[in-house]
Each structure stands twice: as C-alpha cells, then as structure tokens.
C-alpha cells in the first residue's frame, strides 16, 4: 500500500512540475470589424481608385477584375486589411485625392500580376494612416503602427512595427515586404518608375523598359516589337498582347459562353475572359465560363462569408471576409 501511495504521489508531482514548466499557448492578434468611419473611408478609396483605373484603361479593369463593381470590392478588401488591427486608426484618411492624381503607368503596372494582387497595386499608392503601436510592438498590418509599416517575416505570424526599408534596401524576410508605395522586386524595395524617370540595368520601369539613354521608355504599341520575358511589354491598357511573332497585337475581352484564349503571350486575336454581374469568368477548354470563386485572370478573390462557420482553418468572418488571427512570437 505504501508503494502504491508513493507512485501516485510521484505521478502527481511530475504532472505538477510539467504544468509549471510547459510553455503557455501563443497569444494571438485578432482582426476586428472596421469602424463605421473606416468602412466609409475604404469604400470611398476603392471607388476613387477604380474610377481612376477605368479612366486610364477600361480594358485593364475588365481584364483583371471582371467589372468595375468587382474592382471596388477587391480594393475595399485590401484597404480593410490595413485597418482591422487593434492599433489601427478608427478614422483613416481616404485615398480620393491621391487616386485622382495617380499616374496611369502605376495603374497599368498591374500587368505584372505575378508580383501581387492588382488591387494591392492600386492600394499601394495610398499612404498608410499611422496607428498607435510603437516600434517593436506586435502588429497585424501596416495600419497598426505609428511608422506605417508592419514587418512580417513569416505568413501566419504577427509582424513587428518598424521603420520600413528604404528604396534600394533588401525586402523583409520571406514575405518580401516593403512599405507603400515601394514594392519588392528582385529582393529589393523599389518605387514604380514612370516614363522618363532615370533607370539602370536591373531596375524595372512600369510596363516599359529601361532605354539605352538611361531613362524609362513606355510600353510597346500596336505592331511594335515586344518580348514577354525581358520587355518591352505591350501596352495592356490599350488591349495589346505580345503575339508569337514578337509584335504587339490587339486582343478582345469576352464574356461567358464565348470562345477565348488565356495567356498573355497568345497570338493576335486572343480573347480574354471578363466577368458579368457579381461573378468572375475563366477560360476553360477555350470557352469562357462563369465562376464566382475564380478571378478574371490571375487572382482568386479573398473568401467571402456571412458567418464564421463558413471559414476554414480557424479563421473568423470579419468585414464579410474570412480572416485568420496571427500568432505573436
């Protein structure tokens, strides 16, 4: 009996020690519903940015978003991400004035769609309204920080408020972060260079290429030479794509049920899918098909929801989209 009691007591002691020495569960930063003021600001910014994109190139909006309405919804979602953290300003400034003066080259640079979402390209031109978190504080997004930059090194983990890298500095970690309006290209933070700006080998000009005189030249026009790998690229805003003969040719934007192509480097006459109403369209078996879950071309929309039960992986439904908390390390 004495041995039994000793074993029980020893087991209890081990459990107690284990409970004292085990690591506590990681803390989380959870996204919060936008304030009424922040929602109005993001809605206004989205409308202004998409209106400017349409003024620069209606085909571009059809090509990447499917419709003006879908453009506004995508940009609103990206804006909301900035200001869902607990440190974010409740009344962030809108981007209306900035949008009205955005250079069309910056907007047309959405053609480099492999780098980021087209909506991010538009929103990147808008200054971040500073939040209340000081440097070194865990953050959900840039809007949390007084510096306007949340340095995130790993997806799923919270960032830390910091002074962001400057132009020419290395991008932040695996997430390839740069503070707006800079963007990560070739592992360095770069601004979007416009036509006429100085450039050198290794820098990237919006849509165009760096000319022999060390200044950015514009994109190639109809029937001009092009190269889908090295540039010059065709002016997508003029509905031009680089054909197999290395010349810029016209393409068309078509709707569901119509014949289509699907790649930027298809030959002349290629038809790209747009969207109708609240849906997106994609090209399947050379025919345009409506799909709510598929983007107009490259990027799927962020998962929409009405309740958290519709979200996966522990995410919650915040501001009508599935949002995951980040882990503080």
One pLDDT digit (tens) per residue for the chain, 329 residues: 444 433 333 344 334 444 444 455 568 899 999 999 999 999 999 999 999 999 988 877 877 787 888 889 889 999 999 999 999 999 999 999 999 988 887 777 666 545 678 888 889 889 999 999 999 999 999 999 999 999 988 878 899 999 988 988 888 876 678 888 887 877 888 887 778 888 877 666 766 677 888 888 878 889 999 887 777 778 877 778 787 788 888 877 777 778 876 544 344 456 766 654 444 566 777 777 765 444 444 455 666 788 988 888 888 899 888 888 999 98
Containing structural domain, residue 265: 219-298
pLDDT at 7: 34
Cα 189–298–192 angle (5° rounding)? 25
Q: Does 249 lie in the same domain as 207? A: no
Strand ranges (DSSP E) for the chain?
28-29, 138-139, 150-151, 159-161, 183-185, 188-190, 209-210, 216-217, 240-242, 248-250, 252-254, 271-273, 280-284, 287-291, 316-318, 321-323, 326-327
Provide the β-strand partners of residue 217. 209
Within a domain: residue 12?
A: no
CA distance 187 to 177: 9
Q: Does 283 lie in the same domain as 194? A: no
Q: Does 271 lie in the same domain as 310? A: no
Q: Does 317 lie in the same domain as 286? A: no
CA distance 294 to 149: 30
**How crowded is residue 307: how many other Cβ atoms within 10 Å of its Cβ?**
8
Q: Does 224 lie in the same domain as 78? A: no
Burial of 297 (0-12, 13-18, 19+ CB in 10 A): buried
Q: Does 173 lie in the same domain as 97? A: yes
Q: Does 225 lie in the same domain as 206? A: no
Provide the β-strand partners of residue 64. none
How far is residue 231 from each of residues 219, 243, 297, measured CA to CA in Å? 8, 13, 21
Residue 99 dihedral angles phi and psi, to the nearest 5°: -60, -40
Q: Does 274 lie in the same domain as 317? A: no
**What's the per-residue H, E or C state across 126-180?**
CCCCCCCECCCCEECCHHHECCCCEECCCCCECEEECCCCCCCCECECCCCECCC
CA distance 132 to 146: 5
pLDDT at 281: 62
pTM: 0.76
CA distance 137 to 291: 41
pLDDT at 212: 81
pLDDT at 63: 72
CA distance 192 to 305: 34
Q: Does 96 lie in the same domain as 80? A: yes
CA distance 214 to 193: 12
**How crowded is residue 45: how many other Cβ atoms within 10 Å of its Cβ?**
25
Q: Does 257 lie in the same domain as 172? A: no
Within a domain: residue 252?
A: yes
Number of domains in the chain: 2
CA distance 78 to 147: 19
Q: Does 228 lie in the same domain as 248? A: yes
Provide the β-strand partners of residue 190. 183
How far is residue 179 from each of residues 40, 183, 229, measured CA to CA in Å? 24, 7, 27
- Could you tell me the two tokens for 229? 């790998």
pLDDT at 270: 64
């Amino acid at each position: 009996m004495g041995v039994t009691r000793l074993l029980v007591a020893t087991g209890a002691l081990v459990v107690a020690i284990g409970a004292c020495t085990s690591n506590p569960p990681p803390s989380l930063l959870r996204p919060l519903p936008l304030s009424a003021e922040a929602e109005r600001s993001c809605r206004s910014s989205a409308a202004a940015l998409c209106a400017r994109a349409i003024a620069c190139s209606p085909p571009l909006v059809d090509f990447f978003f499917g419709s003006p309405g879908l453009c506004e919804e995508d940009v609103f979602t990206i804006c909301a991400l900035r200001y869902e953290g607990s440190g974010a300003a409740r009344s962030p400034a809108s981007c209306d004035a900035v949008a009205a003066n955005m250079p069309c080259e910056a907007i047309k640079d959405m053609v480099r769609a492999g780098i980021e979402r087209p909506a991010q390209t538009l929103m990147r031109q808008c200054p971040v309204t500073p939040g209340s978190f000081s440097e070194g504080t865990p953050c959900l997004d840039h809007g949390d920080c007084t510096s306007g930059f949340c340095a995130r090194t790993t997806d799923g983990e919270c960032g830390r408020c910091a002074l962001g890298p400057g132009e020419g500095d290395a991008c932040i970690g695996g997430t390839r972060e740069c503070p707006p309006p800079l963007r990560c290209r070739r592992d360095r933070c770069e601004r979007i260079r416009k036509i006429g700006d100085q450039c050198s080998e290794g820098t990237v000009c919006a849509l165009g290429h760096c000319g022999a005189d060390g200044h950015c030249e514009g994109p190639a026009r109809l029937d001009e030479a092009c190269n889908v790998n090295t540039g010059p690229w065709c002016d997508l805003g003029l509905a031009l794509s680089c054909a197999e003969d290395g010349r810029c040719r016209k393409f068309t934007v078509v709707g569901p049920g119509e014949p289509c192509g699907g790649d930027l480097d298809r030959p002349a006459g290629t038809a790209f899918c747009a969207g109708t109403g609240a849906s997106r369209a994609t090209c399947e078996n050379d025919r345009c098909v409506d799909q709510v879950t598929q983007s107009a071309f490259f990027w799927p929309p962020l998962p929409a929801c009405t309740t958290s039960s519709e979200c996966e992986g522990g995410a919650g439904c915040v501001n009508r989209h599935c949002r995951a908390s980040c882990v503080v390390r």
